[in-house]
Amino acid sequence: MARQNEDGVILEFLHVGRYVRVSAIDTKTGTEVSIVGDPAQGEAALQRVAILKLHYVMNKNASDTATTGRDRLV
């Protein structure tokens, strides 16, 4: 199931066996991250962790670009 939140992030939850894979994609930059978690944690907690990881990766990419002066593929 995929949906977009108010911050322009597409979230996808995929139940695989006894865990959930959550992907978060920023619609402006196309940056995508994934996490794997326990469904017992709840959808809101998994969503929060995925969005935190997305922000971390986007900030890291921005600082790498500022430092090296060129884009980097992760």
Under the banding of pLDDT at 50, 70 and 90, the label for residue 7 is confident
Percent of the chain with pLDDT over 70: 80
Distance separating alpha carbons of residues 66 and 58, to the nearest angstrom: 12
Given a cut of 90, is residue 52 above it in pLDDT?
yes
When computed from its CA atoms, the radius of gyration of the chain, rounded to whole angstroms, is 14
Owner of token pair 């900030």:
59
Q: Can you name the residues that pair with 3 across neighbouring β-strands?
A: 11
Distance separating alpha carbons of residues 2 and 11, to the nearest angstrom: 5
The mean per-residue pLDDT over the stretch 11-19 comes to 96
Distance separating alpha carbons of residues 43 and 14, to the nearest angstrom: 11
Model pLDDT, residue 59: 93
